[in-house]
Structure 1
Amino acid sequence: MDWNKARAFVVTAEEGSFSAAARKLSMTQPTLSRQVMSLEADLAVTLFERNGQMIELTQAGLELLEPARKMYEAAQAFTMVASGQSQSLEGQVVVSVCEMDAVYRLPSILDELRQHEPGIRVEVVVTNGVSDLKRREADIAIRSFRPTEYDFIAKKLGEEHIGLYGTKRYVEALVDNYKQVQILGFNQIDRIITLLSHHGWELDESHFGLVTNYQPMQIALCEKDLGVLFMPEDVANSLPHFHKVPGFEQPLMELPVWLVSPHELRNNRKVKRVFDFIASRLNKRLEPNI
């Protein structure tokens, strides 16, 4: 069996649509649909019932999904072990990072890496979700938690110190009356209200007039004097027009920063080179006295 056809079937079943599966696999929808149809022809079964844009697994599809998933995972493991033997410092390495890392931390690191290793082509996957390293969605990931699986290489790079920041003009206005504050950012309003209540701020939903999980937009809104936001200290220090909100000189929270890679890639020279390079540069940024 063509492993690509099994992959197309499994990911389509998991994502629930051809368009979502195509995005997941970074291919066009017609290509993915052809792979699924070809697999159906090979097996002489119908795997999906199609109703316009909606699809649903047939009984045959349901029964074949788990064996196909095991085949797909076995093929991924085979490919990963084979990739792990590479001793070349040329080729592609995929790094998964969050929006804040992608915009404010990684560019300078990749600039330096390119000077040292021009033969390594780095693809950056930007997501605030968790890339599936076992399925080769990335070779390396920066995460705020340590993986629990034994078959990952994980290195703690330091702590991310999160504070409350705004423009100088905005935070100075809060000295006399914090009740006029607007909090920019995430949709976990109740959690933020509870956190800030421990610091004497009594807030309600009226203090959250602009909410977005897209971190670069939070910063852009803050620059327009539309509110304050939670920001890592090292990022805020690189943006001179941002200042800590009075009364919040100490970090509101600390999050660990981990660099993670599948154990099978430990002998892959180019992956190890990128892993070690990012680790050393981020460690210095997060722990500047080291």
Structure 2
Amino acid sequence: MADIDWNLIKSFVTVAETGSLSAAARKLSASQPTLGRHIGELEQALGVTLFRRGRSGYALTEAGATLFERGKAVSEQASAFSRLALGSVEAIEGTVRIAASEVVAAYVLPDMTARLGIEEPGIEFEIVASNQVENLLRRDADIAIRMVKPAQNELVARKVCDIELCACAAISYLDRRGRPVGPADLVDHPLIGFDRSDEMIRGFTQFGIPVTRSSFRFRADNQVVLWEAVRAGNGIGLGQEPLADRDPLVEKVLPGLPLPSLPVWLAMHRDVRSSVRIRRVADFLHEELKRYSAGTGANSAR
């Protein structure tokens, strides 16, 4: 049997971990047909069926399960080799893949990458917009901006800042419905919040504000959708204070509301921190995120 392309193994491991071609394609930034072809080629090369295909996705066969752990080890070793090679590259050019939350990816990073792109035209950016913790160990991203400290020993994480949260609404909405004077007034306003999480309900209850699921007239689990709902005038929601401060359509309310802050961590794998390219991007993001949290970024107009 000829040597097997490690990309086939990487595709096999990712499909096994995610359970479907579509999820694996998103994770690897590849197409579903490519991954399907990889699985077929690997099965043909090994002479075994690795997955049971069904409507619910891809499930490992007994043979596939036996090979999964070995394949995962091979994939991680190949990724480690890639990281070490990347760490030795000195030119400030090439691609840097950044993982960030939906809100940061949509409203904060584009301005920063545009300005860094002027200073470093050789750098290309790939943004992974997700609230899930990206697996830096397997190079799903080069740099991750996270609201929790990564726990893996192989990762280097720097605490950047704390981003304050605020209650806010569209100015058009407040002009129409009135501005709440105290927290108790929130029961008279439609709220904007999560659909499948009761985190905000529990938070308001702790403040002594009796809200229920029906109090949240607009519900979604995508944070970009929630922010756009605030801007469009659907009611009162929560947002990042520096984002609200710079938005001419939005006004903060109830400044004394005891909301938590978001700790911001910048993380990368130890093996790539010697890369001049990745280090340049990480240092730039570190300073710009601090400026953003302090309300002194380029777009802090209000």
Normalised by the length of structure 2, the TM-score is 0.88
With over 3 angstroms needed to count, the CA separation of the structure-2 counterparts of 1:56 and 1:169, relative to structure 1, is closer
Q: 3-state DSSP class of the match of 2:128? A: strand
> How far did 1:54 drift?
4.3
CA distance in 2, matches of 1:36, 1:265: 29
Whether the 8 Å CA contact 2:167–2:252 is kept in 1: the answer is yes
- Report how many aligned residue pairs link the two structures: 288
CA distance in 1, matches of 2:239, 2:165: 5
Structure 1 spans left out of the alignment, 5+ residues:
none
Matched, 1:174 2:177: no
1:141 to 2:148 alignment:
no
Relative distance call for 1:53 and 1:287 in structure 2 (3 A) is closer
Deviation of 1:11 after TM superposition, in Å, equals 1.1
Q: Name the counterpart of 2:31.
A: 28
Once residues 72 and 155 of structure 1 are traced to their aligned partners in structure 2, the CA distance between those partners, rounded to angstroms, is 27
How far does the alpha carbon of each residue in 1:12-59 deviate from its partner, in whole angstroms, 9 at most, with x for none? 111212333233222222221221121122222221233467433222
Aligned to 2:212: 204
Matching residue of 1:18: 21
Matched, 1:213 2:231: no
Q: Is the 8 A contact 2:193 2:200 kept in 1?
A: no
Given candidates 263, 268, 281, the residue that maps to 1:261 is: 268
Taking the TM superposition and a 5 Å limit, the aligned residue runs for 1:233-244 are 233-244=241-252
| Aligned-pair Cα RMSD in Å | 2.1
CA distance in 2, matches of 1:53, 1:191: 29
Q: Secondary structure at the match of 2:218?
A: coil
Equivalent residue number for residue 2 of structure 1: 5
Query: Which of 229-238 and 17-26 deviates more?
Result: 17-26
Listed as ranges, the gaps of 5+ residues in structure 2 are 297-302
Residue 173 of structure 1: CA displacement? 4.1
Q: 2:201 aligns with which of 179, 183, 193?
A: 193
Q: Could you tell me which of 270, 274, 277 is aligned with 2:281?
A: 274
Q: Secondary structure at the match of 1:209?
A: strand
- Determine what percentage of the aligned residue pairs are the same residue: 35
Question: 1:8 corresponds to which letter in structure 2?
Answer: S
Contact persistence 1:97–1:126 (CA under 8 A): yes
SS in 2 for 1:174: coil
Taking structure 1 as the reference length, what is the TM-score of the superposition? 0.91
Q: 1:160 aligns with which of 145, 163, 169?
A: 163
- Rounded to whole Å, the distance in 2 between the matches of 1:231 and 1:211 is 14
> Structure 1 residues 51 and 255, CA, compared in 2 at 3 Å: closer, same or farther?
closer
Equivalent residue number for residue 77 of structure 1? 80
Q: Aligned partner of 1:25: which letter?
A: L
Note if contact 1:158-1:283 (Cα within 8 Å) is conserved in structure 2. yes
Any conservation in 2 of the 1:22–1:32 contact (CA below 8 Å)? yes
Select 1:119's aligned residue among 119, 122, 133. Answer: 122
Q: CA deviation at 1:241?
A: 3.0
1:108 partner amino acid: D
Say which is worse superposed, 122-131 or 64-73, in terms of deviation.
122-131
Residue 59 of structure 2 aligns to a residue whose secondary structure is: strand
Q: CA deviation at 1:94?
A: 0.6
In 2, Cα distance between the equivalents of 1:22 and 1:225?
36
Displacement, 1:200? 3.7
Please say if 1:40 is aligned against 2:47: no
Per the alignment, do residues 36 and 161 of structure 1 end up closer, same or farther by CA in structure 2, a change over 3 Å counting?
same
Amino acid at match of 2:248: P
Deviation at 1:149, TM superposition (A): 1.6
Task: Please give the alpha-carbon distance, in whole angstroms, between the structure 2 residues aligned to 1:81 and 1:213.
Answer: 37
Q: What is the aligned partner in structure 2 of residue 230 from structure 1? A: 238
Deviations 1:106-139, CA, capped at 9 Å, x for gaps: 1221121011100111111111212111111110
CA distance in 1, matches of 2:257, 2:217: 26
Q: CA deviation at 1:250?
A: 4.8
In structure 1, the residue corresponding to 2:48 is in which secondary structure? coil
How far did 1:187 drift?
A: 2.8
Q: Residue 10 of structure 1: CA displacement?
A: 1.0
